[in-house]
């Protein structure tokens, strides 16, 4: 572990997060798990409500489980209700609180229906994780169909707009909170044969930076997580060593770090990389 991180951790969580005010943070896996052990000891989300889009499996499922383990009541949503119900059962079996509702982030009416359910049943929302996403890595952009382009951009970018449009008013009424958008290092670098996906993530980054400034005065912190290669069904992993890739749980650990910040601090962006190139 890097000496400067050891020193920060030894001082305790409040000081650590005051050091992160308005910063971009680069985290590798060994450092991440030491941060996580500290957060587990100091973070209690009891009384808070979290919603994670695309949480039936993969990264979203890991995030939902992590937030529930920290005490939050978690709303899981996605397009496949059977996956969501299995996630709710898993969370409840571990003593957590969860509720599922099918939702397609491409459909504004579906998102608004979900928001109405949250407001009616919980009367607040403290944590919104925009995780739902799709990829397209089949070939160069000029061979991509307009339908495939629209699927990627509508899910990865328009879906986040719909989500924020529906849920930010509830968060403002709640007195603030966290919005965490799951982006990608593809939003920082070229991605041959994945131009639409990269464009959606570059766009998501710009949206997040801008909305963060709009909502800071409302005590809502908008943060980005940009993971590298994650061992899930999304993305081209040919030729990569799965043992060296990030796991969905790694992204969930970063979410836990962000929601554990002291009130006066704001870690605006985390670039999450595998320790070794896979």
Query: Which residues neighbour 61 within 8 Å (Cβ) at sequence distance 6 or greater?
Result: 55, 76, 83, 87, 248
Active-site residue, 197 included: yes
Q: Would you tell me how many other CB atoms lie within 10 Å of the CB of residue 214?
A: 12
Catalytic residue among 33, 162, 197, 209: 197
**How far apart (Å, rounded) are the C-alpha atoms in residues 236 and 54?**
19
In whole angstroms, give the CA distance from residue 78 to residue 170.
20
Give the angle subtended at the CA of 51 by the CAs of 45 and 56, to the nearest 5°.
115
Two tokens at 134? 């799709």
Of the candidates 23, 20, 64, 50, the one whose C-alpha atom is nearest the C-alpha of residue 262 is 20
Q: Kindly list the catalytic residues.
A: 197
């Amino acid at each position: 572990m890097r000496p400067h991180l050891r020193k920060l951790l030894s001082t305790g969580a409040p000081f650590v997060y005051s050091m992160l005010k308005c910063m971009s943070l680069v985290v590798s896996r060994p450092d991440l798990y030491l941060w996580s052990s500290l957060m587990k000891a100091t973070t209690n989300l009891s009384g808070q409500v979290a919603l994670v889009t695309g949480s039936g499996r993969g990264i979203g499922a890991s995030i939902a489980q992590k937030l529930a383990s920290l005490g939050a009541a978690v709303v899981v949503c996605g397009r496949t209700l059977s996956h969501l119900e299995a996630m709710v059962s898993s969370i409840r079996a571990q003593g957590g609180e969860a509720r599922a509702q099918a939702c397609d982030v491409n459909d504004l009416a579906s998102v608004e229906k979900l928001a109405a359910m949250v407001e009616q049943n919980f009367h607040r929302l403290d944590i919104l994780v925009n995780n739902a996403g799709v990829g397209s890595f089949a070939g160069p952009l000029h061979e991509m169909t307009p339908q495939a382009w629209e699927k990627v951009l509508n899910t990865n970018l328009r879906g986040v707009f719909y989500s924020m449009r529906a849920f930010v008013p509830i968060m403002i009424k709640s007195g603030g909170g966290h919005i965490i958008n799951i982006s990608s290092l593809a939003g920082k670098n070229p991605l041959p044969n994945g131009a639409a996906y990269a464009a959606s993530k570059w766009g998501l980054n710009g949206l997040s930076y801008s909305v963060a400034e709009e909502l800071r005065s409302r005590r809502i912190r908008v943060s980005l997580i940009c993971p590298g290669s994650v061992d899930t069904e999304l993305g081209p992993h040919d030729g990569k060593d799965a043992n060296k890739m990030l796991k969905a749980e790694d992204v969930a650990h970063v979410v836990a770090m962000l929601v554990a910040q002291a009130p006066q601090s704001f870690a605006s962006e985390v670039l999450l990389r595998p320790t070794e190139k896979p």
